[in-house]
Amino acid sequence: MAGKRVLVVDDSLLIRRVLSDALEEIGYQVDTAENGAEALKKINQSRPDLVVSDILMPAMDGWALCEAIRRAEPTRDLPFIFLTTERDVPKRIKGLEMGADDFVCKPFSKEEVVARVGSVLRRASRGGGRSRRKGRTQVSGPTHLAGHSDQISVPDVLQMLSQNGKSGTLNLRGRSVGRIYFRDGKIINAETRSLKGRKALFRLVAWPEAHFDFEPGIPERPAEPALEGSTSSVLMEGFKQLDEMRQLAQRLPRLDEKIRSKATGTEAPFTVTQRIILNAAAGGATLEEIIDAVPDDDLVACAFIDDLLQRDLLEVVRPASRARQAATGAKD
């Protein structure tokens, strides 16, 4: 990608300098602007190969800049990355709906931005399997869409299929195998392992990486729609859950660690979900197996598991070798 021109737009002189130095060091040509209005002038004078833009800026913010770029015929397909301190999920969804190719949150590492820039430019040079019309991402080609999440994220793929009113099945291969079913651009169901519906969809979106391919046509199964709401609203909720799950995961065991129930039956009455968890852990089960057993979303299941661990009604099962080491250490 050496020689490609990148326009960095940010009202912070420091950020403009940091990104310029990082990108120029590996061979990019870099121009800068301190707001959207200045950026548009430079784009009209000499079109770059990619724009990296902050959102909150004076004179013209990043939203307005992206909209102006997508509205103009000569720049409609110009790759665009949002760079911002905004972590609010609705803002991210808005950026994707406006046709942004990626979204990087501050604070960031130079290496992350350089990697994202390279990935977006590689997709653009290959045609990315898509084209844009009237500011919206569209799947190009007759039927085929396939790739890996390091090239385009799974949520972005879901947005593309939704915006283009596609019907078919998105097959995913990551931690296991999963499928997401579309009808006229609407996600109607999802499944992975024994899970279906919302729980399956949010699990698939949370996978760190996955190969994907799309099979067009009316899905034959599952027959009944199990998901309601637009793709954007469903993904918004999924992102919120994912953010909360990351915080909660710091207190929980690993997914492959076993947990055992310590409840004796004499404790205060349990809720239905608590009983499902305690029964699943009665003989010892991994955290992942227990989460799978709970019909509620993963976030709800993990919150209940965390509560039961804190109340000492569940315990993590240590391997014998680790238990002996702990006992020896205690004696010493």
What are 39-79's pLDDT values in tens digits? 999 999 999 999 999 988 988 988 889 889 988 889 988 99
At 145 the pLDDT is 76
CB atoms within 10 A of CB 328: 9
Buried b (16+ CB within 10 A) or exposed e, 187-213: bbbbbbeebbbbbbbbbbbbbeebebe
pLDDT at 303: 93
One-letter amino acid for residue 21 of the chain: D
- Closest to 231 measured CA to CA, from 118, 155, 284: 155
Q: How sure is the predictor about 151, in pLDDT bands with cuts at 50, 70 and 90?
A: confident
- Residue in the structure block whose two tokens are 């309601």: 228
Domains of the chain: 1-129 (3.40.50.2300), 142-249 (no CATH), 251-320 (1.10.10.10)
Question: How many Å apart are CA 200 and CA 3, to the nearest integer?
Answer: 43
Segment 10-19 mean pLDDT: 93
> Would you place residue 30 in the very low, low, confident or very high pLDDT band (cuts 50, 70, 90)?
very high
| 147-156, 195-204, 217-226: range with lowest mean pLDDT | 217-226
User: Residue 112: what pLDDT?
Assistant: 83
DSSP assignment of 5-65: EEEEE-S-HHHHHHHHHHHHHTT-EEEEESSHHHHHHHHHHS--SEEEE-SS-SSS-HHHH
Q: Look-up: residue for tokens 């296991």?
A: 176
* Tens-digit pLDDT profile for residues 261-289: 988 765 668 899 999 999 999 989 999 99
Q: Number of helices and strands (H, E) in the chain?
A: 12, 16
The pLDDT tens digits of the residues spanning 308-325 come to 999 999 999 876 554 445
99-124 pLDDT per residue, tens? 678 778 777 888 888 988 988 898 78
Judged against a pLDDT cut of 90, whether residue 164 lies above it is answered with no
H or E element, residue 272? helix 272-280
Give the pLDDT confidence score for residue 15 in this predicted structure.
Answer: 92
Report d(CA 197, CA 101) in Å as an integer.
27
pLDDT bucket at 244, cuts 50 / 70 / 90: confident
Residue 281: the pLDDT is: 92
* Confidence band of 230 (pLDDT split at 50, 70, 90): confident
Section 192-220 average pLDDT = 86
CB 298 within 8 A of CB 273: no
Q: What is the mean pLDDT of residues 80-90?
A: 69
Which has the higher per-residue pLDDT, 171 or 130? Answer: 171
Give the integer Cα–Cα distance in Å for 298 and 160.
26
Which pLDDT score is estimated for 144? 56
Mean pLDDT of 68-96: 75
Mean pLDDT of 122-145: 50
Residue type present at position 137: T
